[in-house]
């Protein structure tokens, strides 16, 4: 048997496409862990992986080669496809899948900026998929895009501030893990680190720069006119699209299409989970105490801000977890009025500038978990 079936015979049939990859494997782990009722799972990858076995819910899934036939042979219709096999496969297969009645939740960048395709983070813009909810099966296919992982992690932390105070400007620096580039990225980090520890000179094997004991500007291509790399541009464009759809209570400038964002994206020698240093300028003044209170009650956010213990978010603390960790919360001294200095209660002073440090597991909340949460919203969680 090449599918896993739940004891409950209802719920959607699910295909995980790219199941042998870094995101696909996490997709299966998230499907096992969450209460998303589904009647079967089928795992697809390239022909190279056909026949490979993947553990799932005490049994195993036999990987099937994805062909251009959809629905695939060997079973019935597929209600939901979780796609993480790269943008080429998404572009080739996504529309065909949707036309056959499958709800496609796509992790690639193929459709993120396509007009009419929801770009969804369930805690941020759940209304973007409101029209797609399946109340009793059927309802036709659709494509929904998962945002870029760095965008998801950023917006989980700053959207609660945007809702409460308005965000006028964001300056973000990322510290991105090897697994953000899939299994090849992870293998490169491990292989190159072992080589250097074994006495060899550092050399680049997958990325343009050596990875062991190094860091480098994100490996996506750079636009020579703007100087921005593709990852940085995605953060700008996707934030604008997502915030422009927030709607209720956030009209005009706060609707988001005009948000000013500057990003510097960097790959660091960390296996898993991205971190981001964020400087935020709010639309109106508030206090650090109020910012802290807003973040403390934000869904999917966990405060980790122990100044006395010098204990803050790290990739290891974020790895394997569902929450985006937020800490190093502080007033931006560069935005305090001149003359405000020593002796001022920085917890109570009114200002528009704050700094924070964020860590999130980009394979989970930045990809698989976010996709399964979207599926839960559409098909019902349990």
Ligand X SMILES: NC(=O)c1ccc[n+]([C@@H]2O[C@H](COP(=O)([O-])OP(=O)(O)OC[C@H]3O[C@@H](n4cnc5c(N)ncnc54)[C@H](OP(=O)(O)O)[C@@H]3O)[C@@H](O)[C@H]2O)c1
Query: What is the secondary structure of 103-144 as a DSSP string?
Result: EEEE-SSTTTTSTTS-B--TTT-GGGGGGG--SSS----EEE
Is position 274 annotated as part of the catalytic site?
Answer: yes
Considering only residues 134-153, where is the footprint of ligand X by CB under 6 A?
149
Choices 14-22, 72-80, 96-104, 135-143; region in contact with ligand X by CB under 6 A? 14-22
Of the pair 179, 351, the CB lying nearest ligand X is at 179
- Of the candidates 284, 297, 302, the one whose C-alpha atom is nearest the C-alpha of residue 354 is 284
Residue 381 tokens read as 């969680």
The verdict on 18 binding ligand X (CB under 6 A) reads yes
Q: Rounded CA gap, 346 and 64, in Å?
A: 58
Residue 153 tokens read as 């992690």
Is position 275 annotated as part of the catalytic site?
Answer: no
Of the pair 44, 165, the CB lying nearest ligand X is at 44
Least distance between ligand X and beta carbon 6 (Å): 23
Specify whether the backbone of 377 is left (phi greater than 0), alpha (psi in -120 to 50) or beta: alpha
Q: Pick the catalytic residue: 80, 149, 265, 275? A: 149
The verdict on 45 binding ligand X (CB under 6 A) reads yes
Per-residue interface string for the shown chain with ligand X, residues 333-362, x marking contact by CB under 6 A: -----------------------------x
Contact 81, 376 (CB under 8 A): no
The verdict on 180 binding ligand X (CB under 6 A) reads yes
The verdict on 23 binding ligand X (CB under 6 A) reads yes
Residue with tokens 């805690």, as numbered in its chain: 123
Cis peptide before 71 (omega within 30 of 0): yes
Choices 42-50, 201-209, 235-243, 333-341; region in contact with ligand X by CB under 6 A? 42-50
At residue 176, what are phi and psi to the nearest 5 degrees? -100, 140
The verdict on 373 binding ligand X (CB under 6 A) reads no
Q: Rounded CA gap, 151 and 148, in Å?
A: 5
Residue with tokens 């980790």, as numbered in its chain: 304
Contact 104, 143 (CB under 8 A): yes
Of the pair 286, 373, the CB lying nearest ligand X is at 373
The verdict on 176 binding ligand X (CB under 6 A) reads no
Of the pair 46, 314, the CB lying nearest ligand X is at 46
Of the pair 97, 291, the CB lying nearest ligand X is at 97
DSSP state of 201: P
Which are the catalytic amino acids? Answer: 149, 274
The residues that touch ligand X, with contacts defined as CB under 6 A, are 18-24, 45-46, 48-49, 66, 84-87, 89, 107-108, 149, 179-180, 182-184, 362-363, 366-367
């Amino acid at each position: 048997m090449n599918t896993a079936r739940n004891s409950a015979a209802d719920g959607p049939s699910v295909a995980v496409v790219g199941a042998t990859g870094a995101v696909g494997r996490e997709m299966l782990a998230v499907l096992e862990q969450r209460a998303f009722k589904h009647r079967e799972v089928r795992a697809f990858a390239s022909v190279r992986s056909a026949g490979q076995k993947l553990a799932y819910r005490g049994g195993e899934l036999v990987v099937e080669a994805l062909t251009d036939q959809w629905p695939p042979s060997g079973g019935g219709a597929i209600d939901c496809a979780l796609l993480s096999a790269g943008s080429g496969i998404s572009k080739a297969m996504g529309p065909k899948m949707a036309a056959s009645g499958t709800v496609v939740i796509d992790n690639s960048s193929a459709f993120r900026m396509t007009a009419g395709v929801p770009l969804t983070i369930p805690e941020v813009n759940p209304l973007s998929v409101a029209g797609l909810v399946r109340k009793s099966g059927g309802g036709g296919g659709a494509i929904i895009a998962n945002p870029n992982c760095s965008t998801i992690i950023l917006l989980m932390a700053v959207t609660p501030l945007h809702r409460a105070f308005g965000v006028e400007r964001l300056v973000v620096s990322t510290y991105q893990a090897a697994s953000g580039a899939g299994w090849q990225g992870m293998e490169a980090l491990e292989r190159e680190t072992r080589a250097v520890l074994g006495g060899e000179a550092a050399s680049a094997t997958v990325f343009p720069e050596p990875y062991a004991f190094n860091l480098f500007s994100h490996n996506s291509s750079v636009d020579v006119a703007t100087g921005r790399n593709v990852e940085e541009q995605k953060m700008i464009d996707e934030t604008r699209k997502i915030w422009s759809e927030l709607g209720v209570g956030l009209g005009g400038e706060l609707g988001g299409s005009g948000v000013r964002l500057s990003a510097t994206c960097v790959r660091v020698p960390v296996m898993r989970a991205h971190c981001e240093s964020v400087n935020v300028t709010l639309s109106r003044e508030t206090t650090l105490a109020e910012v802290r209170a807003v973040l403390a009650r934000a869904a999917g956010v966990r405060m980790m801000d122990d100044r006395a213990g010098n204990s803050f978010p790290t990739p290891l603390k974020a790895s394997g977890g569902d929450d985006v960790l937020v800490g190093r919360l502080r007033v931006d001294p560069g935005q305090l009025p001149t003359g405000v200095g020593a002796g001022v209660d920085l917890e109570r002073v009114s200002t528009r500038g704050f700094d924070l440090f964020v860590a999130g597991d980009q394979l989970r909340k930045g990809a698989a978990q976010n996709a399964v949460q979207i599926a839960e919203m559409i098909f019902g969680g349990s």
